[in-house]
């Protein structure tokens, strides 16, 4: 098998578990919800007209071995009690078992229908396989077996044995049921499909192709059954599985088995576990090289939602995921916890703070950026920025503590100063932070204080540029400003911050008494340029070539906020998460091509999908070039996009639940004041002043 065909086959192989992981949980939830509503509605109807229910149990579908009255009560009880458990995914197997028995009684003692058989097949699947990730069962599965509950561990082992031994049988039963229904359709295509499913040959594609053969009364259950076969596969008792085993024995890489790498295999070191660094590591998953990811923190952070941690809407764990868990299944990847302090490009080694040196053959610098103060680093202790989890929890501490100290104060002027919040910078972070603070003051804290009214808090957004969101079209900037003002935010455009002190700020010559100031005005790159001994741009970014390598150092790459690339139609690539991910994927392709002796890919070209910014709980702006959205439509789109880009199903589900609860109740759920009780830490030693990437944006 030639290399290109092998890579295509590997990509196709990777698509199957990816589709199962992406679609499987939703499909399982859909099956449970559909079955639950069908049974529960039937139970409600019987309860509403009990005489009719007794009549049906006595004359229409009598059970020969059971009195009609107990039969009616048992049937109604099953239909009312167990569907809620099935929908929640709590004790799913035990809930599905009596429902399966009820369907089988209806099929064999009343009227045989294909719809009953489809329902029975789906319930049997749940009895044997259990509920999927979107269920309470799955949430409890890790801790329950080792708990102090009696028989918890034996029960867990029993259920595992049922799945292990019964899974192949139930998968065969599903295939044979679909095959039988398709064969009875009389359609030649249905007959061919039935034969292929019986053999388990091309089962996934055949299941999708048979969706048009809809049995009577199975309008939704039939597609769900076919979806189970297509997504979860035909099982081990099939020709598909036999063929797969034969192929992967010949080409082990198709099984995801990377041949053992020798100790002298090329070593790729990636510094930084952000969007770009992770994309580079994952892009090298099947490459013939060792990969080491170095980061000073053990987690990958979803920075676009960091402001929601700062304003008590989300917990840090909702937007951060351990890097080791993300790379658990990548055999050629290793994670090192450490702070990089330099790069010896002559010796090709990365130097760590603890004295270790990590040699490399290829180096990828994805070290991100930090907030910049335009040479006024002494402002940082008074006006913290927002780049990491610690920043967010510090801002949350100061924000919530300001309301507490205003409540404790008896002086009106001091209360007003504590209830005045200044956000410096009118880019997306500043706009979102100011809107979230206003929402918290007006809704999240309502009725919780006695001496003050949090809704009287002043939120000022200071922007030195003529308008907010300067990278957005002017119409969207105006819409964002109007939405902020509707929330009560005072927008000061064309206003320069001249001084930031403990008691307030000076803006264009005007002193504003404010005890809480937050910084969202600019960023500076990491010291990567200094490590490499190259001249950075005015914001410290490393100039890179078309392939994102550093000129003069072809084995060193820089991407994301670390790099100055003109891969956006000749313009600098913006410091956005999608740009970093695209850069990481491109660098991985370049390194793989070098390792495998292939021609280098085309120069890096950033593809801008669009820009989004949210304002409070009902408004947002979205720019997709020709398509521009504002208001609620943009807000919903913003929410969906950010949930989908989070790492891990737990984070996606957790954030969705937190947002939905906060949206309905107007309450923030993580209003914890942690850390020192004083207003601000004492000034620390500052890094050498560095110019900022952009002023107030």
Q: Which residues are catalytic?
A: 432
- Counting Cβ atoms within 10 Å, is residue 631 exposed (0-12), middle (13-18) or buried (19+)? middle
Residues 635/619, Cβ–Cβ less than 8 Å = yes
Residue among 645, 643, 649, 639 nearest 618 (CA): 639
Residues 20/265, Cβ–Cβ less than 8 Å = no
DSSP 416-449: HHHTEEEEE--SHHHHHHHHHHHHIIIIITTT--
Q: What angle do CA 510, 515, 520 make, to 5 degrees?
A: 75
Phi, psi of 308 (to 5 degrees): -75, -25
Tell me, rounded to whole angstroms, the distance of Cα 381 from its chain centroid. Answer: 32
**In DSSP terms, which residues pair with 363 in a beta bridge?**
269, 556
DSSP 14-44: HHHHHHHHHHHHHHHHHHHHHHHHHHHHHHH
Q: If you compute the radius of gyration of the chain from its CA atoms, what whole number of angstroms results?
A: 30
364 SS3 class = strand
**Strand 553-558 to 362-365 pairing:** parallel
Classify each residue of 43-73 as buried b or exposed e, where b means 16 or more C-beta atoms within 10 Å of its C-beta. beebeeeeeebbebbeeeeebeeeebeebbb
C-alpha 255/C-alpha 10 separation (Å) is 8
Residues 505/422, Cβ–Cβ less than 8 Å = yes
636 SS3 class = helix
CA separation, residue 504 to residues 395, 436, 486, 521, 531 (Å): 16, 21, 25, 17, 37
C-alpha 115/C-alpha 78 separation (Å) is 19
Phi-psi region of 442 (alpha: psi -120 to 50; beta: other; left: phi over 0): alpha
Sign of CA dihedral 218, 222, 224, 225: positive
Torsion of CA 563, 568, 570, 573, to 10 degrees: -30
557 SS3 class = strand
Sequence-separated (6 or more) residues with CB below 8 Å from residue 469 = 426, 427, 428, 431, 476, 477, 480, 613, 621
Residues 466/496, Cβ–Cβ less than 8 Å = no
Distance spanning both ends of the chain, measured CA to CA: 52
C-alpha 476/C-alpha 474 separation (Å) is 5
Sequence-separated (6 or more) residues with CB below 8 Å from residue 573 = 563, 565, 566, 567, 579, 583, 606
């Amino acid at each position: 098998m030639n290399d290109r065909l092998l890579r295509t086959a590997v990509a196709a192989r990777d698509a199957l578990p990816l589709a199962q992981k992406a679609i499987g949980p939703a499909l399982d939830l859909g099956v449970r919800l559909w079955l639950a509503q069908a049974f529960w509605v039937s139970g409600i109807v019987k309860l509403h007209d009990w005489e009719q229910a007794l009549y049906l149990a006595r004359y229409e579908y009598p059970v020969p071995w059971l009195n009609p009255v107990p039969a009616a009560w048992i049937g109604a009880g099953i239909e009312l009690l167990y569907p809620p458990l099935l929908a929640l995914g709590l004790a799913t197997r035990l809930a599905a078992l009596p429902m399966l028995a009820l369907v089988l009684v209806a099929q064999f003692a009343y009227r045989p229908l294909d719809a009953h058989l489809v329902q029975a097949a789906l319930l049997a699947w749940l009895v044997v396989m259990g509920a999927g990730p979107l269920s309470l069962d799955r949430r409890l599965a890790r801790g329950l077996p080792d708990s102090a509950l009696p028989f918890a561990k034996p029960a867990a082992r029993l259920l595992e044995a049922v799945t292990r031994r019964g899974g192949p049988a139930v998968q065969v039963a599903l295939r044979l049921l679909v095959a039988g229904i398709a064969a009875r359709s009389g359609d030649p295509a249905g007959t061919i499909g039935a034969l292929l499913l019986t053999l388990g040959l091309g089962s996934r594609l055949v299941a999708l192709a048979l969706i048009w053969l809809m049995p009577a009364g199975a309008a939704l259950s039939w597609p769900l059954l076919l979806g189970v076969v297509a997504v979860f596969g035909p099982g081990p008792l099939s020709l598909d599985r036999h063929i797969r085993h034969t192929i992967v024995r010949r080409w082990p890489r198709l099984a995801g088995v990377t041949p053992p790498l020798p100790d002298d295999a090329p070593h790729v070191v990636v510094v930084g576990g952000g969007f770009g660094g992770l994309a580079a590591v994952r892009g090298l998953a099947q490459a013939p090289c060792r990969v080491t990811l170095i980061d000073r923190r053990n987690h990958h952070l979803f920075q676009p939602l960091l402001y929601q941690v700062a304003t008590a809407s989300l917990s840090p764990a909702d937007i951060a995921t351990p890097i080791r868990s993300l790379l658990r299944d990548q055999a050629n990847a290793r994670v090192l916890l450490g702070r990089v302090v330099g790069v010896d490009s002559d010796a090709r080694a990365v130097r760590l703070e603890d004295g270790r040196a990590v040699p490399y053959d290829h180096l990828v610098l994805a070290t991100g950026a930090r907030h910049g103060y335009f040479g006024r680093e002494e402002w940082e202790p008074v006006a913290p920025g927002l780049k990491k989890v610690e920043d967010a929890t510090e801002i949350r501490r100061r924000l919530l503590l300001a309301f507490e100290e205003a409540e404790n104060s008896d002086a009106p002027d001091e209360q007003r100063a504590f209830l005045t919040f200044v956000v410096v910078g009118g880019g997306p972070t500043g706009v979102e932070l100011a809107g979230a603070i206003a929402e918290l003051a007006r809704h999240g804290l309502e009725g919780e204080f006695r001496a003050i009214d949090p809704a009287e808090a002043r939120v000022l957004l200071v922007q030195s540029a003529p308008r907010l969101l300067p990278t957005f079209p002017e119409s969207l900037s105006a819409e964002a400003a109007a939405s902020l003002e509707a929330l009560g935010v005072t927008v000061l455009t064309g206003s320069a911050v001249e001084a930031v002190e403990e008691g307030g700020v000076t803006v264009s010559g005007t002193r504003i008494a404010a005890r809480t100031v937050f910084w969202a005005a600019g960023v500076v790159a990491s010291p990567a340029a200094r490590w490499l001994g190259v001249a950075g741009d005015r914001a410290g970014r490393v100039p890179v070539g078309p392939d994102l390598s550093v000129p003069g150092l072809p084995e060193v790459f820089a991407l994301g906020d670390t790099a100055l690339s003109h891969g956006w139609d000749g313009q600098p690539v913006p410091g956005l998460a999608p740009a970093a991910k695209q850069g990481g994927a491109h660098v991985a392709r370049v390194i793989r091509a070098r390792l495998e002796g292939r021609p280098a890919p085309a120069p890096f070209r950033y593809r801008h999908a669009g820009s989004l910014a949210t304002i409070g709980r009902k408004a947002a702006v979205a720019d997709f070039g020709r398509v521009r959205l504002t208001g609620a439509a943009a807000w919903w789109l913003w929410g969906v996009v950010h949930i989908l880009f989070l790492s891990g199903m737990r984070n996606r589900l957790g954030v969705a639940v937190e947002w939905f609860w906060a949206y309905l109740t107007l309450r923030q759920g993580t209003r914890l004041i942690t850390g020192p009780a004083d207003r601000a830490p004492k000034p620390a030693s500052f890094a050498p002043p560095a110019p900022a990437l952009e002023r107030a944006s």
